[in-house]
Structure 1
Amino acid sequence: MSGEHIVRSFEQELQRISNLVTQMGGVAEAQVAAAVKAVAKRDVALAAQVTQADQRLDEYEREIDAEAFRLLALRQPMAQDLREIVSALKIAADLERIGDYAANIAKRSLALAQVPVVRPVVGIPRMGKLVEGILKDVLDAYTERDVAKAVSAWERDQELDDLYTSLFREVLTDMMEDPRNITPCTHLLFMAKNLERIGDHATNVAETIHFLVVGEPLAGERPKSDTSSVTVVGAGETPQEMGNP
């Protein structure tokens, strides 16, 4: 086998693993969108589809892992080629977790659909739209190897944290105003946290893309502004009256 053929074959193998990651990303993106839609529309059938489809992402991750380890063992790649393979492993792991969180949202939407609608539920589609935008941008950035687009998506994580904190306060207020809201609002809290975590994994992907293309970690501290852990809602307060914690 000639050296040129070996190089061409290796490039094709690297492209295949990149294509698998892109395909997996498309499935993860669709899962998140469907889970959020199931909440907004109280669509039990769609929620069930999301939970059942989660195994597709697991299968993609196993295939990417197997292909990556095979290339590491047989090709002993270096520099950019090594970064391609390691990045595929890391991104696949993040996408698998994103799928898990989407499935969790779908499962809770099944329970939420059995109880009366509560006011803060409108915050889930709002958060979902932002998460979907961030996820789409990082997946496009991976396909295009576009560092600027990846960094732009990375910076939007703070906006998502702000939305999460705002929804967190609104849900707590509703729970305090009417104990009958506790059960549905608890589901909303978990859904909102799942979306916030999906955003975190999307920013992980953005950081991996920066490493893949530039060869160095993304400089600077990840923008975070989730203050839900220190949020306190006093009796009779509304989110507008509380100010910053």
Structure 2
Amino acid sequence: MSVRTHLDKDLERLKELLIEMVNLSKTAVEKSVQSLAHQNTELAKQIIEEDQKINELEEQINNLIIQLIAQQQPVASDLRAIIAGLKISNDVERIGDLAVNIAKSILHIGDGPLIKPIVDIPRMAEMSIEMLNNVIKAYIERDIELAIQTAKDDDKVDALYGKIVKELLELMPTKPESINQITQLSFICRHFERIADHTTNMSEHIIYMVKGKNIDLNA
């Protein structure tokens, strides 16, 4: 097997592992929405338990990247693909951690009555999930325009986050007995907002991978 063929095979393996890792994290986020909507504490516990799979994939990716750099000495676009893969895996791991944080907040809330119908939080979560769907498509297809559009969608998530947190804070004086629940719901909103932020970071890494340019899409 030639050096080029071996490198191409390893780069394809890196891509496969990243896609698998993103899909697992996306599933964790989707489960967190379902868990919140139905106050399903068993599902929340499942999210926490399954996070180990995401962590193991990140370790596999890190080991593969170390091996690639040490043995193949990649340059130019190959090296950018490897560096981008390392950065993306870090953001994806954080998304998995945020899904776990949401699950922990759901466990804190428990199955007691909610202070208000949960409508806007799932909407914000669905927006974050759609961003994840688009960013992985952009990665697979090396689609810079889709990566940029995905990052722009973060503004919508931020706007809805601000609206929801404002409403929750306004409930505090009138619902002092529900301070814990209001606090946990605020945390959950923040975690979904951070998921969108990490997805925006992934968009930046895709642009770097394709064009070799560092662009701040959070500006």
Determine the structure 1 residue equivalent to 2:50: 53
Determine the structure 1 residue equivalent to 2:206: 209
Alignment of 1:75-154 (within 5 A): 75-119=72-116, 121-154=118-151
Aligned equivalents of 2:31, 2:217: Cα separation in 1: 32
Q: Does the residue aligned with 1:177 lie in a helix, a strand or coil? A: coil
> Scaled by the length of structure 1, what TM-score is found?
0.86
2:162 is the counterpart of 1:165: yes
Q: Does the residue aligned with 2:172 lie in a helix, a strand or coil? A: helix
Q: Which moved more, 1:127-136 or 1:106-115?
A: 106-115
Retained in 1: the 8 A contact 2:148–2:217?
no
Aligned mate of 2:174, from 174, 177, 181: 177
Retained in 1: the 8 A contact 2:151–2:217?
no
Q: Which runs of 5+ in 1 are unaligned?
A: 224-245
What number of residue pairs does the alignment pair up?
A: 219
Q: Does the residue aligned with 1:176 lie in a helix, a strand or coil? A: coil
> Scaled by the length of structure 2, what TM-score is found?
0.96
2:38 is the counterpart of 1:41: yes
2:187 is the counterpart of 1:197: no
Aligned equivalents of 2:41, 2:131: Cα separation in 1: 26
Q: Using CA pairs under 8 Å that are at least 6 residues apart, name the structure with larger relative contact order, 1 or 2.
A: 2
Determine the structure 2 residue equivalent to 1:222: 218
Q: CA deviation at 1:176?
A: 1.7
Retained in 2: the 8 A contact 1:115–1:184?
no
Determine the structure 2 residue equivalent to 1:29: 26
1:175-198 alpha-carbon deviations (Å, 9 max, x no partner): 122212211100001001111111
Amino acid at match of 1:121: I
Determine the structure 2 residue equivalent to 1:64: 61
Retained in 2: the 8 A contact 1:101–1:194?
yes
Q: Which runs of 5+ in 2 are unaligned?
A: none
Aligned equivalents of 1:222, 1:203: Cα separation in 2: 7
Q: CA deviation at 1:144?
A: 1.2
1:210-245 alpha-carbon deviations (Å, 9 max, x no partner): 111111122x6525xxxxxxxxxxxxxxxxxxxxxx
Aligned equivalents of 1:27, 1:165: Cα separation in 2: 28
